Amino acid sequence: MLSMEMYPSLTLGPQRIGDCFYRDRQAAAHMPMFPPAGCDMAAKALPQRMIPPPPNDPTTKTPKDEVKMELENASLWKQFTTVGTEMIITKKGRRMFPGLRLKLSGLNPSLRYLVLLDIVPLDNSRYRFQGGAWQAVGGAEARLPDRVFIHPDSPATGAHWQSRTISFHHAKLTNNTLDSQGHIILHSLHRYQPRIHVIEARDVLRWGGGQHSFVFPETQFLTVTAYQNNKITELKINSNPFAKGFREDGMNSKKQRDARQKRKICDGTETLDIVNCDPCDSTELQPQQMTTATDLQALALASLPPLPNPSCGFRPEEAPYQASLVQEQPLDLGQAFMASQMSDIGISMANGMQDMPGSDVANMIEGSETQAYTSNFPAVQANPSFPLAPLPQSSSFLPVPDSSETSNPQPIDYTPILSSSPTLCSSSNTPLLQQTTFTFPTPPPSNSSSPQPLLSSSSPSYHTMPETISPHTPADASFPAPPCQAGLQDQISAHSLLTDQPLQGEPITSGNNSPIDQTSAVFIYPNNLPANPAPVPAQPLPNYNLPLAPSLQCSLPTHGTSFPFPSVPPHMQSFSNMSSNSSHHAFNFQNLSHQTQAAFPPSSFTHPSSLPHPHPSFQPSSCLGVPSSFQQSVSSAPSMPPTAYPQNLANPSNPSYPQVDISGIPQFNPAAHYRPEMVRHHPSLLPQLDPSLPSNLPSSNPPQSLYPAFPSYPLRLCQDPHSSLSIPFRHLYRQHQHGHVHPQGSYLDMSTRAVF
DNA sequence: TCCACTAGCACCTTTGAAATGC
DNA sequence: AGCATTTCAAAGGTGCTAGTGG
């Protein structure tokens, strides 16, 4: 039984307390079937012991730094990245292509894990395809409730996960904010970054002890309702088996379509001079002719380079990512807020992604792939469509393609872009990694009322892989600069994973508030966050063990009229002991970003110059394993010098990051147990806002809230109360499983919107 | 007028049940 | 009768395109 939380105030999970919490708070009226009273009863019925798992349980210890994840079809992703990956989103939901095909290793074969997918915004910008490239044209729309797609196999043993490729091809993206199918809701024309979370579930009654998050920068994409870049269309058609009909040899190819159209016109216009009809029309006129033409085309195409294996989208024989994460702080997911912070922090960076030629297409595009970032990435960046992300970066951390090493015949000159972009990595001397040091807008951490620095000296390990990143900063106007990959990773890890915030351009270096060149009119990246205040680290942070700050609770979205009720998929029932009805596999996490945005609307976008755009450029197929604890620790690390990064990071062969000792981090102190429901009913338990907390907002617009704009929280796992519920209580949860079984995955929608 | 979005279309793959053969 | 293989149709996934609405 698991539940997840994106932020402390919520306990999510299939039909669990979290559900009650939401209903109770927001729109019980909309969820008549699940009366708050029932929830309360259920909550009360939970044994106290179930809520806060035993801290520091030795049994929860697992080998650290061993969990690794690799993106199997990294080569394909890179191909798209070079052009600027676009993902179609539709009202009914559209699958991602390429899909996420992953390989996990380092798991305990006997333990059970959940594998989740969520997608977070990369920045606060809205984009438009102009002049053949993507350009930021304004501020992002309010962030939608986060939904998490739970892999249908979840929960499964480590042996299970490691024995096969983990695919999230069933996950669908939608732009329907009222989606009731459990699809992941995204805004069109925004950039996103998928994240994979591996959560340990030791048994039905106790889970936690390990949470690993992975980010593959090359999987970031821009959402569209219709493809903007023809190159992307071509790639999709050539790579996606379902689009085979649109290939040149297909009956739905442009040529064939044109012929059909002309034929139609000819047929419809008797007076039309047949001479005016395209000769190719003849192939469409007669079935036999058509067949012949098709055959001929097929023969002609036979000589063409083979397309990538469509079945999987792509099966590059690439070397595994070295990425991975790490930390293994025993984590009881049901624990207090501390638990909410991903205790496992580690960065698994793919050290040198080794791309193997997966397809001819890939070869054509990428030329040759090498294992090192530097060699691979350049090609990837060749034709980036995305505007270069103005990432503050340190040359030392940038996986920059070395022209000398790259096979790319035409080295790309990123200089112009970089120079034009205020936030370009190259412009900054700040190590990208330091981006991880920025602020961490989360509720106060430790029990202690006194603010404490998040980062202890003990958490040095995450600081990255200097060597893996090339000092060069390739930048392409159309796509995020690859060189900034490190920055991206950091951003993702630090922000998204930890805070679940959209990646925002922030000064890499803590305390780096130096203004960034904003001369580029093309790349406008309004950052919500004020210059990264180096601060976070140095600043006293709220006690993470404390419940969500009042401001956040009060900021719950009001637009939602009802809450979606998560249901447990059949395959998960054995694990959760929940009702047989299951519907969606995705958890919908309401995210607070929009809430906070509401709190800091103008301010968040008023200081574009203050922050470098996070645009995490694509990084080589590296995987960023980011334990939440890491993020916090990193972000909070006071003045983390670039040089502090472990050298091992530089070595692609050594993907593992040193384990971070989070024991020194207050928020990871299992001392106090946090119970969202307790806070809900007893607001007084909420910690006092700490006036000393730095504000990320512009001074001109002082935040009314304790937290910076786009605050989001790490994926939080909480022990599922159901296991402890007596049979009589369980029916309460079942009542809300209106969903139907979703054959492609489980969606647990915890948003505040009505989803059913 | 421009642009984002939608619905319907044709083509294709996937999937699972039914049919067939051993 | 039981199992494996093949066939077939339905379901669903694609991109394309015309139309719609802001």
pLDDT 10s digits, A325-342: 323 332 222 222 222 222
Mean pLDDT in residue range A698-716: 31
Q: Closest Cα to residue A438, out of A636, A252, A275, A641? A: A636
| Per-residue model confidence (pLDDT) at position A153 | 85
| Per-residue model confidence (pLDDT) at position A227 | 94
Which single residue has its CA nearest the C1' atom of nucleotide B5? A225
Strand B close to A90 by CB, under 7 A: yes
Strand B close to A250 by CB, under 7 A: yes
Strand B close to A310 by CB, under 7 A: yes
C16 C1' to A254 CA distance, Å: 9
B/e letters for A167-190, b = 16+ CB within 10 Å, e = fewer, are bbbbbbbbbebebbbbbbbbbbbb
B1 C1' to A126 CA distance, Å: 22
A505 has a pLDDT exceeding 50: no
- Return positions of chain B under 7 A from a protein CB: 3-7, 10-14
| Per-residue model confidence (pLDDT) at position A144 | 79
C18 C1' to A135 CA distance, Å: 27
Q: Which nucleotide is nearest to A311 (CA to C1')?
A: B13
Q: Which nucleotide is nearest to A190 (CA to C1')?
A: B4
DSSP A722-747: GGGS-HHHHHHHHTT--S---TT-EE
pLDDT-above-70 percentage for chain A? 23
- Return positions of chain C under 7 A from a protein CB: 12-18
C1 C1' to A153 CA distance, Å: 35
pLDDT-above-90 percentage for chain A? 13
B8 C1' to A91 CA distance, Å: 14
- pLDDT per residue over A529-583, tens digit each? 222 333 333 333 333 332 323 232 223 233 332 333 233 333 343 333 333 333 3
A736 vs A210, which has greater pLDDT? A210
Say how far residue A94 (Cα) sits from the centre of its chain: 17
Strand B close to A251 by CB, under 7 A: yes
Parallel, antiparallel, or unpaired for β A125-130 and A133-139? antiparallel
Residues A56 and A201 sit within 8 Å (Cβ to Cβ):
no
Strand B close to A91 by CB, under 7 A: yes
Strand B close to A471 by CB, under 7 A: no
Q: Which nucleotide is nearest to A313 (CA to C1')?
A: B13
Q: Is the preceding omega at residue A14 within 30 degrees of 0, hence cis?
A: no
List phi, psi (to 5°) of A261.
-65, -45
B6 C1' to A167 CA distance, Å: 29
CA dist., res. A615 & res. A392, Å (int): 9
For A24, A108, A241, A586, A705, the CA distances from A754, given in Å and listed in that order, are 14, 38, 35, 14, 27
B13 C1' to A240 CA distance, Å: 10
C9 C1' to A99 CA distance, Å: 27
Count the neighbouring beta carbons within 10 Å of the beta carbon of residue A396. Answer: 20
Confidence of residue A206 (pLDDT cuts 50, 70, 90): low
- Which amino acid, A386? F
C18 C1' to A257 CA distance, Å: 14
Strand B close to A175 by CB, under 7 A: yes
Can you point out the beta strands (E) in A630-747? 716-719, 746-747
Q: Which nucleotide is nearest to A129 (CA to C1')?
A: B3
Q: Closest Cα to residue A4, out of A298, A192, A207, A164? A: A207
A257 has a pLDDT exceeding 80: no
Range with the largest mean pLDDT of A319-333, A453-467, A621-635:
A621-635
Q: Closest Cα to residue A62, out of A112, A104, A108? A: A108
Confidence of residue A126 (pLDDT cuts 50, 70, 90): very high
Confidence of residue A245 (pLDDT cuts 50, 70, 90): confident
| Per-residue model confidence (pLDDT) at position A77 | 93
A71 vs A10, which has greater pLDDT? A71
B7 C1' to A93 CA distance, Å: 14
- pLDDT per residue over A11-33, tens digit each? 222 222 222 222 222 222 222 22
CA dist., res. A346 & res. A198, Å (int): 13
Lowest mean pLDDT among A183-192, A296-305, A725-734: A725-734
- pLDDT per residue over A28-77, tens digit each? 222 222 222 222 222 332 222 222 333 333 333 444 557 899 999 999 99
B4 C1' to A184 CA distance, Å: 20
- pLDDT per residue over A133-144, tens digit each? 899 988 888 887
A160 has a pLDDT exceeding 70: yes
Q: Which nucleotide is nearest to A96 (CA to C1')?
A: C13
A159 has a pLDDT exceeding 80: yes
Query: How would you classify residue A367: left for phi > 0, otherwise alpha for psi between -120 and 50, otherwise beta?
Result: left
| Per-residue model confidence (pLDDT) at position A147 | 85
Parallel, antiparallel, or unpaired for β A86-88 and A221-224? parallel
| Per-residue model confidence (pLDDT) at position A719 | 28
